[in-house]
């Protein structure tokens, strides 16, 4: 596992996190449900940076929004996906490799792209 505090990561029954590449995990609480697949190279970023004051370097400005990331059960996240703050990936969803997820994903939906958008629903 990559950077981040492991004390804030919850792993439940039958969840697989690829160790082939380091995965960045947020420093805040990060919920992961049972039976999830998280491929290598995924990044979970739970915060933004402020940039509204042009007179102050961005690195010197305060932190922006922080929000929990949640993966419900039976979620499959492809390789090199970036999940941003406040996103919930609901049960049975699939996220295509290389996607940048900025919005929450509904039950049994398949999303992909940068930024990611809904492609279709999983078959019944």
- Catalytic residues, by residue number, are 49
Q: Token pair of 38, please?
A: 């998280």
Calpha distance 120→13 (Å, rounded): 28
Q: Token pair of 47, please?
A: 């915060």
3-class DSSP state of 75: coil
Calpha distance 98→15 (Å, rounded): 20
Give the chain's end-to-end CA distance (angstroms, integer).
34
Number of other residues whose CB lies within 10 A of the CB of residue 122: 11
């Amino acid at each position: 596992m990559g950077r981040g505090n492991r004390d804030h990561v919850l792993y439940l029954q039958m969840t697989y996190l690829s160790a082939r590449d380091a995965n960045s995990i947020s420093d805040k609480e990060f919920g992961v449900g049972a039976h999830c697949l998280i491929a290598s190279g995924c990044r979970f970023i739970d915060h933004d940076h402020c940039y509204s004051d042009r007179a102050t370097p961005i690195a010197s400005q305060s932190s922006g929004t922080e929000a929990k990331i949640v993966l419900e059960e039976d979620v499959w996240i492809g390789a090199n996906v970036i999940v941003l703050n406040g996103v919930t990936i609901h049960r049975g969803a699939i996220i295509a490799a290389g996607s940048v997820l900025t919005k929450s994903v509904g039950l049994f939906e398949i999303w992909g792209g940068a930024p990611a958008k809904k492609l279709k629903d999983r078959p019944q």
